[in-house]
Structure 1
Amino acid sequence: MSKYSIEEFLKQTEQEDKGQGLFELETPRMLEVNLEGQVWAKAGSMISYNGNIKFEREGLFEHGLGKTFKKAFTGEGASLMKATGNGKLYLADEGKKVIVLDLRNDVIHVNGNDLLAFEPSIKWDIKLMKRIAGMMAGGLFNVRCEGTGMIAITSHYEPLTLRVTPDRPVITDPNATVAWSGNLQPEFQTDITLKTFFGRGSGESIQMRFEGDGFVVVQPYEEVYFKSNS
Structure 2
Amino acid sequence: MRSELFAPEYAEQQAAGIQKQGGKMCRVGLNGEVFARAGSMVAYQGNLSFDAMGSGGIGGFIKQKLTGEGVPLMKVRGQGDLFLADAAQDVHIIDLDGSDGLTINGANVLAFDPSLSYDIRRVSGAGMSSSAGLFNCVFTGVGRIAITTKGQPVVLAVNQPTFADPQAAVAWSSGLQTGVQMNDSFGLGTLMGRTTGERFTLSFHGQGFVVVQASEEPPVSAISGQGSGQQAGEGGLGGALGAFLR
TM-score tier after normalising by the smaller chain length: 0.7 to 0.9
Q: Supply the distance in 2 between the matched residues of 1:31 and 1:76 (Cα, whole angstroms).
A: 22
- State the partner residue of 1:187: 179
CA contact (8 A) 1:31 1:90 kept: yes
Q: Supply the distance in 1 between the matched residues of 2:134 and 2:65 (Cα, whole angstroms).
A: 13
2:6 match: secondary structure: helix
Residue 15 to residue 84, structure 1, CA distance change in 2 (3 Å):
farther
Is 1:95 equivalent to 2:88 in the alignment?
yes
Q: Which has the higher contact order (CA 8 A, sep 6+)?
A: 2
Q: Supply the distance in 2 between the matched residues of 1:161 and 1:76 (Cα, whole angstroms).
A: 24
Q: Supply the distance in 1 between the matched residues of 2:178 and 2:69 (Cα, whole angstroms).
A: 23
CA-based RMSD of the aligned residues comes to 2.4
Q: Supply the distance in 2 between the matched residues of 1:205 and 1:174 (Cα, whole angstroms).
A: 10
- State the partner residue of 2:156: 162
- State the partner residue of 2:46: 51
Structure 2 unpaired stretches of 5+ = 228-232, 234-246
Deviation of 1:136 (Å): 1.9
Deviation of 1:111 (Å): 0.5
Residue 14 to residue 147, structure 1, CA distance change in 2 (3 Å):
same
Q: Supply the distance in 1 between the matched residues of 2:129 and 2:10 (Cα, whole angstroms).
A: 45
- State the partner residue of 1:60: 55
The amino acid of 1:176's aligned partner reads A
Instruction: Kindly provide the CA deviation profile for residues 68-115 of structure 1, in whole angstroms up to 9, marking residues without a partner as x.
Output: 321122346322110011111111111111111111113100011111
The amino acid of 1:189's aligned partner reads Q
- Segments of 4+ in structure 1 off by > 4 A? none
Percentage of pairs with the same residue? 39
TM-score with structure 1 length normalisation? 0.84
Q: Supply the distance in 2 between the matched residues of 1:90 and 1:9 (Cα, whole angstroms).
A: 21
- State the partner residue of 2:165: 173
CA contact (8 A) 1:70 1:128 kept: no
Residue 51 to residue 76, structure 1, CA distance change in 2 (3 Å):
farther
Q: Supply the distance in 1 between the matched residues of 2:164 and 2:55 (Cα, whole angstroms).
A: 34
- State the partner residue of 1:201: none
TM-score with structure 2 length normalisation? 0.79
Deviation of 1:128 (Å): 3.8
Instruction: Kindly provide the CA deviation profile for residues 182-212 of structure 1, in whole angstroms up to 9, marking residues without a partner as x.
Output: 10131001111596332xxxxx610001011
CA contact (8 A) 2:121 2:137 kept: yes
Q: 1:206 aligns with which of 187, 200, 213?
A: 200
Structure 1 unpaired stretches of 5+ = 1-5, 199-203
Q: Supply the distance in 2 between the matched residues of 1:144 and 1:189 (Cα, whole angstroms).
A: 21
Q: Which protein is richer in strand relative to its size?
A: 1
- State the partner residue of 1:112: 106
Q: Supply the distance in 2 between the matched residues of 1:47 and 1:225 (Cα, whole angstroms).
A: 27
Q: Supply the distance in 1 between the matched residues of 2:200 and 2:40 (Cα, whole angstroms).
A: 29
